[in-house]
């Protein structure tokens, strides 16, 4: 039996970020960078730890996983390995950081959008989902290689004051829950209309 496949243009509908939970804070940012991640090898948290070690920059790492002990040994005096943090405390960490670090390659990546939703900029590896969700120079600063040296270059002299809180949040709002519902509803309606036009149903 032969099967016919519809050759229709693909449309990507990204999963939503919770922009109602993650909101800007009232207090000015503090002097630390933030990373929130499962601590697995492919997340490349080691790059962030080593780069902050080299520049002696404050870094808070939230998360747990198989790499936790190794990262604790790698961490210098300016790096805090916080482990698991209650959900109701994570928002405050986002709100107060200078910037959020994303050294890994992700298909999508919600955590940088959560940081943007809190009005904070992101320093991200230029690849994967970050190319779709982040705006270089507006909500994010990219670094080009997954190496300590490349991340050091992005961190060195980084000025979070060059990024607007409103611009960061506006970027995250493109991926809000309401926006997701609207896009998904429009997609379903479009496909239903195409089906009924073809079948006369």
pLDDT in tens, 126-161: 999 999 999 999 999 999 999 999 999 999 989 999
Give the pLDDT confidence score for residue 38 in this predicted structure.
96
- Mean pLDDT to the nearest integer, 79-103: 96
Provide CATH code, domain 33-199. 3.40.50.2000
Taking only the tens place, the pLDDT of each residue in 15-33 is 668 999 999 999 999 999 9
SS3 helix, strand, coil % of the chain, rounded to 5?
A: 40, 15, 45
Residue carrying structure tokens 């790059």: 47
More confident residue, 4 or 197: 197
Q: Which of the four pLDDT bands, split at 50, 70 and 90, describes residue 88?
A: confident
Q: Which of the four pLDDT bands, split at 50, 70 and 90, describes residue 2?
A: very low
Question: What dihedral angle (degrees, nearest 10) is formed by the CA atoms of 77, 149, 44, 78?
Answer: 10
Give the pLDDT confidence score for residue 182 in this predicted structure.
57
Tell me phi and psi for residue 174, to 5 degrees. Answer: -65, -20
Angle between helices 148-155 and 45-55 (to 10 degrees): 60
Token couple for 148:
């300590």
- The Cα-based distances of 125 to 4, 17, 27, 143, 200 in angstroms read 40, 20, 28, 5, 49
């Amino acid at each position: 039996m032969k099967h016919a496949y519809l050759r229709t243009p693909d449309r990507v509908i990204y999963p939503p970020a919770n922009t109602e939970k993650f909101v800007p804070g009232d207090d000015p940012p503090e002097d630390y960078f933030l990373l929130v991640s499962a601590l697995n090898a492919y997340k490349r948290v080691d790059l962030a730890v080593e780069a902050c070690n080299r520049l002696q920059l404050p870094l808070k790492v939230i998360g747990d996983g198989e790499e936790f002990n190794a990262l604790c040994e790698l961490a210098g005096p300016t790096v805090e390995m916080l482990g698991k943090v209650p959900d109701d405390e994570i928002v405050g960490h986002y709100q107060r950081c200078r910037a959020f670090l994303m050294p890994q390659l992700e298909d999508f990546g919600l955590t940088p959008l959560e940081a943007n939703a809190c009005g904070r900029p992101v320093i991200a590896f230029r690849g994967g989902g970050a190319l779709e969700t982040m705006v270089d120079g507006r909500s994010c600063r990219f670094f080009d290689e997954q190496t300590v040296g490349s991340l050091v270059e992005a961190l060195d002299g980084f000025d979070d004051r060059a990024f607007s809180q409103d611009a960061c949040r506006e970027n995250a709002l493109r991926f809000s829950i309401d926006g997701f519902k609207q896009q998904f509803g429009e997609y379903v309606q479009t496909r239903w209309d195409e089906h009924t036009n073809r079948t006369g149903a």
